[in-house]
Amino acid sequence: MISSKHINFTGDIHVQTMQRQSGIFIGERNSAFGWSAHGKENRVIGSISGQSNLLLHNTLILNDPDIVDTPIDDRDINLHVEQPNDNHTTNLTLESVNVNAMTNNNSLSIGKGHINGMDGNNKNNYSIGNLYGHENQIRHNVNYVDDQDGVDGIINDQDIKITNIENDESM
């Protein structure tokens, strides 16, 4: 079996934004399986980024009068078997990692790890989305969200997730 464990990380990790189902994984070997993200999102104004943005005297109306909203049926079957005798070599030198944005089911994986079966199910209504940056101003606005659902956010997430990870101390 060939095995190497050379990871040299001397700097910093800078992350601006992480949203649902995001991750940063650092180690010798990474394994991610069975991730899923389902959802519904309404935004009148999406994300705002940068410097010195000005939203002034706006009227924002979100009208979402569904009878049944966001039925999610996420019944997955995920099987994962780690092969302990896989030949692998990792030689990695990093000074820093910079992540501006990670959203729905994103990952940054460096080296060994087992990231298994992550789910992200949601329903969101935003009149104004995310606000990023410096010296942004939101003044004298009227925000109205009208979400008169009869049934809202039905999520059936009955996953079957089976994993077998052998712990081989020689790795």
Q: What is the pLDDT of residue 171?
A: 43
Q: What is the pLDDT of residue 57?
A: 92
Q: What is the pLDDT of residue 170?
A: 47
pLDDT digits (tens, 9 = 90+) for 74-131: 887 777 776 665 555 556 677 788 887 777 667 777 766 667 777 777 788 888 887 8
Higher pLDDT, 163 or 167: 163
Tell whether 169 is covered by a domain: no
In angstroms, how far is CA 91 from the centroid of its own chain? 27
Residue by residue, DSSP assigns the chain as: --B--EEEE-S-EEES-B-SSEEEEESS-EEEE--EEEEEEEEEE--B-SBS-EEES-EEEEE---SEE--EE---EEEEE--TT--B--EEEES-EEES-B-SSEEEEESSEEEE--EEEEEEEEEE--B-SBS-EEES-EEEEE---SEE--EE---EEEEE----TT-
> What is the pTM for the complete model shown?
0.56
Higher pLDDT, 58 or 81: 58
Of all residues in the chain, the percent with pLDDT exceeding 70 is: 75
Q: Is the pLDDT of residue 68 over 70?
A: yes
Tell whether 156 is covered by a domain: yes
Tell whether 122 is covered by a domain: yes
Tell whether 100 is covered by a domain: yes
Q: What is the pLDDT of residue 113?
A: 67
- Reference 104, options 23, 10, 160, 9; nearest CA is 23
Domain of 13? 6-164
Tell whether 171 is covered by a domain: no
Tell whether 1 is covered by a domain: no
Q: Is the pLDDT of residue 160 over 70?
A: yes
Q: Is the pLDDT of residue 71 over 50?
A: yes
Tell whether 28 is covered by a domain: yes
* CB within 8 Å of 86: residues ≥ 6 apart: none
Tell whether 26 is covered by a domain: yes
* CB within 8 Å of 140: residues ≥ 6 apart: 56, 57
How many domains does one find in the chain? 1
Gap between the terminal Cα atoms of the chain: 9
Higher pLDDT, 102 or 51: 51
Q: Is the pLDDT of residue 1 over 50?
A: no
